[in-house]
Structure formats: structure tokens, C-alpha cells
Amino acid sequence: MILQKFQEITVQKNDLLVRHNETIQYQYYVVKGCLRTYFIDESGKEHTIQFAIEDWWISDYIAYFGNRKTVFNIECIKEALLLRIKKDDLEEIYNKVPQIERFFRKKIEKAFVRQELRILGNLTQTAKERYLLFLETYPLIEKNIKNYHIASYLGITTESLSRIRKEIAVN
Amino acid sequence: MILQKFQEITVQKNDLLVRHNETIQYQYYVVKGCLRTYFIDESGKEHTIQFAIEDWWISDYIAYFGNRKTVFNIECIKEALLLRIKKDDLEEIYNKVPQIERFFRKKIEKAFVRQELRILGNLTQTAKERYLLFLETYPLIEKNIKNYHIASYLGITTESLSRIRKEIAVN
């Protein structure tokens, strides 16, 4: 019953899974591949908010939970196999299988903690500490991701990222 | 059954409800009063993470959900009446009353959206825009809160806050 509600989709590198300012009805489980959530500000600058790799979930949750238009773009940066589920179908499953609702409650609690730690990190950590946390959060991800995406996630320039990597390599 | 698990407590102005680096087993519902969650960085600087007013919930959720030591302090800034519930008791209620688990799932989903918007705001908004969002998030809160707490929440100096207020008053 649950599996029937999931649809398998593949997304090619550079394709947009989610576009800014649209409605959204899905969240996505990453079976394999890599995606990037980003935001384009008024000056046209991209801000990378999140990456998603194998066994992560991804969506524009501001739109999905908040019932509003999407604010982010989600781009595929390594060909991906995803399982998507419609919000209405998931709510239906919650009504029939409380264990699934519990699973998703715990999932969002963990995501909330990760976000609080990120807010805290932005307030208090050096760029080097944030880079080390990034490596811990996304192990083995680095080879798929362009340097300017990592730098954008960390809120630093690519030059600063290079300097940090050199520092770490030396120590 | 549910109400029995809640305990009423009062907290005096300037008292710490939660202290950094301890264990925590409660979350708190604010019946009335005002509290402030803050973090002290290595240099001793305070960073205000959240305020809680009437009808808000508050805890150190990194510790509560993540089963680790608290990272924040929570200080009472206006005498508060709170209802607290123990994590274990809440889990017990979830097992008996799925509607309560749903209520808390939706609550954390909303909190997650609010956090994403805050992360986005820090990346892309001017201090003035962040201040306007603060006023929208915490209507009627301002008179209880010291200027340096608001400035610390916004990540700006009290001088910048005064300048923003004057700008808004003029327009």
C-alpha cells in the first residue's frame, strides 16, 4: 500500500527538479545521485542552501509544508534516481499507518536540529569550522560538487575555500 | 489523561529556565510572559536565537530532540507562566493518542519552515527587512525586550537598530 504511492523518477545532470515560484506537491527520497537546493537573490547571486545525496529527502519545504509558492530551485548535479511521494498520498498513509507518521515526525525533528546547528554555525563558527562540518554532514560528496557550490553553501568565496583546504592539507 | 502530564510552573524575570551544557527532558508551552533563547560564543558574546511569547513552545530542541547536552541558555525576560511536559510522557501520549502526535508533527513542520525563512533572511535580507520580519513574527513583543536583545537577534549593533527605527518612523 505504501510502496504503491511512491513513483520512481530519474533526473539528468543540470535538470531542475523544482523551480522557483511554482506550486509543489511532492517530496523526494534520493536513491542515488546528488541534488542542490539554491536561492537566487535580487542581485542575481546564488545561495546554496542544501545538498541531497543518497538516503536524503529533498523538497522545497517552505512551499511543501507552508502551502505557498516555491522559493528555491532544486538542481540535479549528478544523475539521480528518486522516489517521489505526493503530499496528499502521504497524509492518507498517515491516517492508515501511524508508524509512518511517526517516522516522518522523527525525520523532521532531526532536520530541525540540523538547521538549528547550521544557524548556530553561521553565527559562531569560522569558515574553516563550517567547512569541516560540511564534510561531516556530506561525507564522500565533495567529488560531485563544484567548488563554487561548496563556497556558496559556506557563504565564502572560492578563493577562501582554496585557502582553507590548503590549511587543512598542511596540518 | 493528557492534561495530567502537564505541570504548571512560574519563572521570574532574569531566571534561567535552561542552562547551557545540562540535560533537558522538558519542552515548555508559554501561557504568558516572555523568554529568550541565547547562545554564548567562545569570545563571550551573546547571540539571541529565539524569543517565546504567549502561545509559543520553547526548549533547547538540539538537546531535546538530539539527546545531547543543551547548547543554549533560556532566560525569562518577563515573568512567565509555563506548562511543561516531559519527553517520555509525551512519547507515551503519542502511543495512546495519534492526534497529539499529529499536532506535534505539524508544529515542528511549521517551526522548520520558520527556520528556513530565517536562514534565507540572514542570507538575503537587509537588517531593516529582518527587523520588519521580527515585528511580524513577534507582534506586541517589543515593549518587553531590551534593545540589545533585539539587536543581538538581528545580528546588528544597537546603533544600527536605532537608525533603522528612525528610518521606519520617518517613512
CATH number at residue B49: 2.60.120.10
What DSSP line would sit under B110-136, residue for residue?
A: HHHHHHHHHHHHHHH--HHHHHHHHHH
What is the tally of structural domains in chain A?
1
Look at A123 and B47 and tell me if their CB atoms are within 8 Å.
yes
Task: Work out whether the CA dihedral B47, B53, B59, B65 comes out positive or negative.
Answer: negative
Banded model confidence at residue B21, pLDDT cuts 50, 70, 90: very high
Q: Any idea how long chain A is?
A: 171
Residue B142 pLDDT: 66
Q: Is A31 domain-assigned?
A: yes
Which residue in chain A has the smallest CA separation from B61?
A113
Q: What is the spatial distance between Cα A94 and Cα A1, in angstroms, rounded to a whole number?
A: 12
Write out the residue range of the structural domain in which residue A39 sits.
Answer: 3-96
Q: What share of chain A is helix, strand, coil (3-state, %, to 5)?
A: 45, 25, 25
Contacts 24+ apart (CB under 8 A), A158-162: A160/A127, A161/A127, A161/A131
Residue A113 pLDDT: 94
For A87-130, what is each residue's pLDDT tens digit? 999 999 999 999 999 999 999 999 999 889 888 887 778 889 98
Q: What is the spatial distance between Cα A138 and Cα A131, in angstroms, rounded to a whole number?
A: 10
B133 touching chain A per CB within 8 A: no
B122 touching chain A per CB within 8 A: yes
A42 touching chain B per CB within 8 A: yes
Q: Is A60 domain-assigned?
A: yes
Q: Is A78 domain-assigned?
A: yes
Look at A109 and B108 and tell me if their CB atoms are within 8 Å.
yes
Which residues in chain B have Cβ-Cβ distances shorter than 8 Å to A61?
109, 112-113, 116
Q: Is B162 domain-assigned?
A: no
Q: Is B106 domain-assigned?
A: no
Look at B101 and A98 and tell me if their CB atoms are within 8 Å.
yes
Look at A120 and B155 and tell me if their CB atoms are within 8 Å.
no
Q: Is B7 domain-assigned?
A: yes
Number of C-beta neighbours around residue A102 at 10 A? 17
Of the candidates A155, A109, A108, the residue with the CA atom closest to the CA atom of residue A130: A155
Q: Is A105 domain-assigned?
A: no
Nearest by CB to residue A61, choosing from B61, B98, B116, is B116
Q: Is A24 domain-assigned?
A: yes
Look at A113 and B66 and tell me if their CB atoms are within 8 Å.
yes
A112 touching chain B per CB within 8 A: yes
- How high is the ipTM of this complex? 0.89
Q: How many CA atoms lie within 13 A of B160 on its CB side?
A: 15
